[in-house]
Every structure is written in C-alpha cells, then in structure tokens.
A and B are shown apart, each in its own frame.
Chain A
Amino acid sequence: MSETTATLYEQLGGEAAVNAAVDIFYRKVLSDHRINRFFDHTDMDKQAAKQKAFLTMAFGGPNNYSGADMRQAHAHLVKKLGLDDSHFDAVVENLAMTLQELNVPQALIQQVAAIAETTRNDVLGR
C-alpha cells in the first residue's frame, strides 16, 4: 500500500504562501521594538530576498541553507549588538503570529517553528 503525503511546503501553499507571508512577517519584524534595531543598516531589497529565502527554508521548501553563511551573516550582530536567544525567540514569535494571521493550522505552525529552531545555534554563533 502506498500513501502519498504532501510535503510541509505543499501543505502551506508553496511559493504563493511564502510571498503572502514575507510581507506580513517583515512588517512585523521591522515594527517590533525588541529587534528592529538589528535591521537599521540593512539594504531593504537584499533583506527582502533573504527573508524570502529564510521563509522558504522554514516552510520546508527548496533552499540552499548553509549554517556557515548564517553564522557569517549574523556574526557582527552577535558581537557588536548583542544578538541573543531573546531576539531569536522574538523572530520565531513574529513568524508564528504571521502564520496565524494567514490562518495556517497550529500543527503546521509548530512544524515551521521547529525548522526555524534548527538555525538557532548558527544564527547565534554557537
């Protein structure tokens, strides 16, 4: 007996879902006073592409995730601006709120959060 199950990415709605989420997610992050200072000197266009790549990865979609890149990209934030677990938690919280707003079922939100969680040590340089 064979059973085909849709991947998480497909269940969430694929690229269209990423596009819908990236806008809401980035707006939340930039408006969140706990973390928006980390984005003060970023180029919006490049950042939008990175947010999209990150969400695609967190949604279980096709990606080129590299822990080394993630470390390198955040190293100066950890060193100079004190990026720590509390900030990482805030981002994950914004991600979950974004998905709730898009009426994604709680079980899927938990799966996305679990994938995002796998990047924590790379982001925080541990």
Chain B
Amino acid sequence: MQTRKISVGQRELGCRPGESVLDALLREQVEIAYGCRQGACQSCIARSLDGAPPAAAQAGLKDVLRHQNHFLACLCYPERDMAIGIGSPEQRFCQATVTGKQLLNAETLLLTLHTDQSLDYCAGQFVNLKRGDGLQRSYSIANNRVHARNLTFHIRRLAGGRFSAWAHDELKLGDLLEVSDPQGLCYYLPSGQPGNLLLIGTGSGLAPLAGIVSEALHHDHAGQIHLYHGSREMDGLYWVEEMRGLAAQHANFHYTPCVSRGDAPDGVASGRANDVAMKQLPDLKGWRVYLCGHPDMVQQSKRQAFLNGAKFDDIYADAFHVASATLD
C-alpha cells in the first residue's frame, strides 16, 4: 500500500493508503458534491481520464457510465496514480466538411459531414455542431460506429430556429463546421446483454435510434429489436421504405410507423408512437428501452416503460429538446 497521486484539473494530491479518493479530495479541500459516502447516493460521481477505474468503485452505476469510466469517489481506493475529472469536462471540437445534403421529407435535412479526425462515439450519442460565429446546437449522430469520420444528422427545420434554417438554406457542400466530442448516455453497447430492445422516436428523434438499430444489427444482436417512429401525419415520417426493407432482411427487427392524426394507411399504426408501443408490448421485463423526441413523450414513455416492467437502469434517453416540436 502506498500513497497514490491523484490529478484533478490543475491540482495534484496524494491519496493515502486506506483512504478513498473522496476523503483525499475533501482533506485537500477540492470541491466535490457528496452524500452518503457508502456508494448509495451516487452524488460523488467522478470520471477517470486515464483508463478504467477500480471495478469496485463502479458498483451500482449504469452500464454506459461504467463504459465511460465514471466511478464513485467514495468507493474508490486507487491501485495506481489516477487523473480524474469532476463535473462537466471542457468541450473539444474538431473540424468537419459538409459532404452531403439531402431532404428526407419537407422539413428534415439529412446532413453528412466528414471530420478531419476520427471520433470515438457510440451509436445514439449526440454532438454539438458549431458554425463560424459560434452558434451551436446539439444533434444526434444518425449512423453506426462503422463510419468513424463520416457522420450523418437529421436536421429538422424549426419555426424560428436560427441554426436549422441556416443549415437548410445556406450551408453548402464543402463548407466547414466544428463538431464537438460525442456526448450523452443514450446509446447501444454491443457488449451488453442479448435482451430485447424497444426504441421509440418522434420526428427527427429517429436519428439516434436508426444509428442504434444499425449498430445492433451490425453486431448480430441476439434479441428482438422493435422500432416505433411517430409523427402527426404521414408527411412527418421518413425512411419508411428503408426501415421496412431492413425489417424484411432481419427476422428480429420490427418496425412500426405511427401517425397520431388523420387516417393511417395500411401498414401504419394509428396513435402516438409511445402509446402504440406500450400497448403492443405490455411486458418489458428485461428489455432495454431507448427514447428520443419531444421531452413530454420521453417523460411519459420512461414512466410507462418502467410500469411495464423495464428497470430504471435499462431506460436510455437524453434530454433532447429540439428533435421534435410537437408531442406526436
């Protein structure tokens, strides 16, 4: 047992034998939120910046947090020197060139970017896109991990949306944009359990879900994969034929487009995507659930998925407020 060096921001401090990282930080008066000191409240969550933390310090954390080397400072007795981060990390950006623009429907643009370095992201994560004057917005990556330098995004034109209007009307092939490090916890881990997946998206909330579906199929996901994509009317949906094609190719992939108003044509369900899904799948015990779209839809679905039997830790959603302007 020896004193281990802990680097946090600009500071370095010693973590003594038998002392937890939390105790060392508090002794050195580094500011960190904490509560129970026993791994229950998860207030003192921190992130290892130089490799995996001790496994025991990750007890009880959601799989995606473990995957990103988060740990609980109160349970962490370092076996080596560590560099750690507390709070949100500084955002880093790389450069990207616009290589494709195509309309998916009247209001949704498929934007393809080629980045100057490969990004380490997981299907389902989002990045911030930043234009020259600093204006930035969050968009989900719509493709799987196989394309490390080619990223696609579904950009829905929002009423009064400065970034989306600019992306639709003014952004040209060959233009440059900045792309942040991938962020967010709503993603698919190929190493995860083989269980069933339920994905519910509204509007351009399809983007991260399509990426997750593609990633899961790429990894021959063993369980069933159910995707529900909803919009108010038919013209708000897109990729209907592509998703049907995918479902025809993969016996374990099931796709249900949904419209909440007006008549639903054959092969399209009538009702809100989350209502249709929860009714068709009343038993979600052991399922992983991915949600993206209007915040109210996400909130209602989280609760209903939980009441249908899914565990808290198996429900993935990022608070994403631009994916869809309506509840449908």
Residue numbers of A with Cβ under 8 A of B are 15, 18-19, 23, 26-27, 30-31, 39, 43-45, 48-49, 52-53, 56, 61-64
| Contact between B40 and A44, CB atoms less than 8 A apart | no
Q: Are A44 and B312 in contact (CB under 8 A)?
A: yes
- Quick check: which of B31-39, B132-140, B248-256 contacts chain A, the rest being far away? B31-39
Query: Do the beta carbons of A43 and B299 come within 8 Å of each other?
Result: yes
Interface size on B (CB < 8 Å)?
Answer: 17
Query: Among the listed A18, A26, A31, which residue makes an inter-chain contact with B40, where contact means beta carbons less than 8 Å apart?
Result: A18
- A49 contacts which of B37, B42, B299, B307 (Cβ < 8 Å)? B42
Chain A residues with CB below 8 A from B41, complex form: 49, 52-53, 56, 64
Given contacts A23-B312, A44-B312, A45-B312, contact A30 B303 (CB under 8 A): yes
Q: With an 8 A cutoff between CB atoms, is B60 at the interface?
A: yes
Given contacts A27-B307, A62-B40, 13 further A-B contacts (CB under 8 A): A15-B38, A15-B60, A31-B307, A44-B299, A44-B312, A45-B312, A49-B41, A53-B40, A53-B41, A56-B36, A62-B38, A64-B35, A64-B41
Q: Does B302 contact A (CB under 8 A)?
A: yes
How far apart are the CA atoms of A49 and B35 in the complex, in Å? 12
Residues of B within 8 A of A61 (CB): 36, 38, 40
Q: B311 at interface (Cβ–Cβ under 8 A)?
A: yes
Q: Any chain A CB within 8 A of the CB of B163?
A: no
* Contacts between chains A and B (CB distance < 8 A), count: 49
Known contacts A19-B60, A64-B36: A44-B307 contact under CB 8 Å: no
Query: Which residue of chain B has its CB nearest to the CB of A62?
Result: B36
Check A52 against B40 for contact (C-beta < 8 Å). yes
Dominant SS at the B interface? loop
**Residue of B40, B299, B311 with highest tally of chain A CB at under 10 A:** B40
How far, in angstroms, from A12 to B40 measured CA to CA in the complex?
15
**Interchain CA distance A23-B315 in the complex, whole Å:** 13
Q: What residue in chain B is nearest A53 (Cβ atoms)? A: B41
Residues of chain A within 8 A (CB-CB) of B42 are 49
- Which B269-328 residues sit within 8 Å CB-CB of chain A? 299, 302-303, 306-307, 311-312, 315
Give the Cβ gap from A49 to chain B, nearest Cβ, in Å: 7
Chain A interface, DSSP helix/strand/loop, else mixed: helix
Give Cα distance in the complex from A79 to B264, angstroms.
44
How far, in angstroms, from A23 to B41 measured CA to CA in the complex? 15
A23-B312, A45-B312 known; A30-B36 Cβ under 8 A: no
Task: Contact check, A63 vs B307: say whether CB atoms are below 8 A apart.
Answer: no
Whether the Cβ atoms of B38 and A27 lie closer than 8 Å is no
> In the complex, A63→B40 CA distance in Å?
9
CB distance from A91 to the nearest CB of B (A): 17
- The CA-CA distance from A19 to B307 in the complex, in Å, is 17
- Given known A23-B311, A23-B312, A30-B307, contact A44–B38 (CB-CB < 8 A): no
Q: What distance in Å separates the Cβ of B306 from its nearest Cβ neighbour in chain A?
A: 7
Question: Which of A18, A52, A61: most chain B CB closer than 10 A?
Answer: A52
* Residues A44 and B302 in contact, CB atoms below 8 Å apart: yes
Which residues of chain B in 108-167 are interfacial with respect to chain A, using CB atoms and an 8 Å cutoff?
none
Is B36 within 8 A of A44, CB to CB? no
Shortest Cβ gap from B315 to chain A (Å): 8
Which residues in A have their C-beta under 8 angstroms from that of B312? 23, 44-45, 48
Task: Give the complex CA separation of A52 and B303 in angstroms.
Answer: 17
* Cα(A34)–Cα(B248), bound, Å: 46
